[in-house]
Chains A and B, each alone.
Chain A
Amino acid sequence: MIPERIKEKFGFGVLLAATLVVVIPVLFIIWLIISKGWSALSWNFLFTMPREGMREGGIFPAIVGTLYLVFVSIAFALPIGVMAALYLNEYAKDNVLTRTINLAIVNLAGVSSVVFGLFGLSLFVVFLKFGVSIISGALTLGIMTLPVIITTTREALRAVPRSYREVSFSLGATRWQTIRHSVLPSAVPGILTGAILSVGRVAGETAPILFTVAAFYLPRLPHSPLDQAMALPYHLYIISTQIPNVPENYRYGTAFVLVGLVLVMNIAAVLLRAKFRRKK
């Protein structure tokens, strides 16, 4: 017989080990990109054009391209995703159509990102004639992230107590007034969580932008949303695999900037969310 106290300690140890398995890669990644990429960071690296076949100079156009893609795709996906979630949660009756839509959303979340890239190529680039452009890439990324936004928004709406809706209706408010004044204000922090998750994914994905927007080498800033653009993840892929003799700290420096950019945008969104929570 093993004493209960030993079993307890063993169980605790196993659970702690599992948690460490999760944390170690995160720490390792951070350590890796900081230790190998820190030396690349400089004003020149962040704010100048690449030179000498991207072996020298900076990554400015890739940073700008990624910022463009994040803002345009979130500006497209957030309102549509929130509106769809509002419809599904507040208006839709439980019928065949609703269940079909739910199934479609779950499936959309499961589609691999390279398939989204192909879809964006055929719909936006070719069929709608947007060409290889920021608008095509951002719309592709936006559609990819819609399921995340819809799902987190619905969770946020479900978490709003039913009583808020009842009280609002009992005071003579219409359904839209109830949503606008009683439901949405309480759901905003949860909706912003969805937006935060989406920013990270949109900034980091390579496959969906491969055929829709990403330029291999474009040592200038994009002129309009219909222009091509460089983007950080694709740039990282190129200098890591396609171009020989790129200094190591350039590669890790690019990764550092990508992770740092997402972090800064997330912190901004978290602060915004905290402001909404305080207002309650």
Chain B
Amino acid sequence: MKVRFEVRDLAVAYGKVPGLKGLTLDIYENEILSIIGPSNSGKTSFLRTLNRMNDLEPQARTTGTVLLDGRDIFRDMNPEALRKRVGMIFALPLPLPLSVYDNVAYGPRMSGVRKKSELDRLVETGLRAAYLWDEVKDRLDCSGQKLSGGQQQRLCIARTLALQPDVILFDEPCSGLDPISTAKVEESMTELKKDHTIVLVTNNTKQAARVGTRTAFFLMGDMVEIGPTETIFTAPKNPRTEDYIVGRFG
């Protein structure tokens, strides 16, 4: 298995508050790495480091190295180029106040794609991959904010896919969705794994169990344990992992 992300001694602090205290792990191609843990465990800090969204926090200080296919994301890449390769889906569905089409075409347009035929192709491919094409193909001019919650979240996935990223970061993508919409999003994640690397932060341990190739358990800014999902859920090495999974705390 090819390594996509090499994370070495990664630490993030917000002012004097530590978010992540020295993390070392590899993320492989074509896997879904689920990250579980209670709030303030550093899961989201970690996710937002992988596409340098943490750069937007004036307080955040990052140390350590993260390599994407061997290139240092802090020294060798500018954040815009990195974010085109490492897409992100947020906790809430956040369509921009634009039409369905313009939402999906936003990323490609920002990277300079002007040709209508090329944009049409990217929009259709993105919407199809997010299982939304059939539902919206007749109303691409309709406002993206008028879709239902589940459709909006799949629109956001389509919007990210239109950039043809190698990695997709999901930040609790189903926290605002009903079970049926959640199932659809999970289905598309499993499908996307074939061509993408996926990192999924979730508060829903069952979701991690359902879709994760591997699962990591974070607690108070440390990674307690990482391993194949079956192992983490059936025979965790660390008692704190087991306590969290069975719901004894968190």
- Chain A residues in the interface with B (C-beta under 8 A): 93-94, 163-164, 166-174, 177, 181-182, 185-186, 280
Contacts and interface: CB of A to CB of B under 8 A. Distances in A.
A272 to B, nearest CB: 18
Contacts of A170: 51, 53, 83, 87-88, 90, 160
Interface in B142-190: 143, 156, 159-160, 163
A164 B143 contact: no
Nearest to B92: A163
A186 B110 contact: no
Contacts of B159: 171
A168 B83 CA distance: 10
A67 B84 CA distance: 49
Nearest to B85: A172
A163 B156 CA distance: 13
Interface in B80-118: 80-81, 83-84, 87-88, 90, 92, 94, 96-97, 106-107, 109-111
A172 B162 CA distance: 12
B83 A182 contact: no
B96 A167 contact: yes
12 contacts: A93-B58, A167-B96, A168-B106, A169-B56, A170-B53, A170-B87, A171-B87, A171-B107, A172-B83, A174-B80, A185-B97, A280-B143
Nearest to A161: B94
Contact of A173 (B56, B80, B90, B94): B80
Contacts, number: 62
A173 to B, nearest CB: 4
A167 B157 CA distance: 12
Interface of B: 51, 53, 56, 58, 79-81, 83-84, 87-88, 90, 92, 94, 96-97, 106-107, 109-111, 143, 156, 159-160, 163
- 8 closest cross-chain pairs (CB), A and B: A172-B84, A171-B107, A173-B110, A170-B88, A172-B83, A163-B94, A280-B97, A172-B80
Contacts of B58: 93-94
A173 B110 CA distance: 6
Contacts of B111: 172
A93 B57 CA distance: 11
Interface of A is mostly: helix
B110 A166 contact: no
Contact of A167 (B79, B90, B109, B143): B90
A169 B88 CA distance: 10
Nearest to B110: A173
B51 to A, nearest CB: 7
A174 to B, nearest CB: 6
Contact of B81 (A163, A172, A181, A280): A172
Contact of A186 (B80, B97, B156, B163): B97
A36 B56 CA distance: 60
Contacts of A166: 53, 56, 90, 94
B111 to A, nearest CB: 6
A279 to B, nearest CB: 9
A115 B249 CA distance: 67
A181 B106 CA distance: 9
Nearest to B160: A171
B226 to A, nearest CB: 25
Nearest to B82: A172
B94 A171 contact: no
Contacts of A171: 83-84, 87, 106-107, 110, 159-160, 163
Question: Which of A163, A166, A171, A182 has its CB near the most chain B CB atoms (within 10 A)?
Answer: A171
Nearest to A171: B107
A201 B56 CA distance: 39
Given A170-B83, A171-B87, A172-B83, 9 more contacts: A163-B92, A169-B83, A170-B53, A171-B106, A172-B80, A173-B106, A181-B106, A182-B96, A280-B97
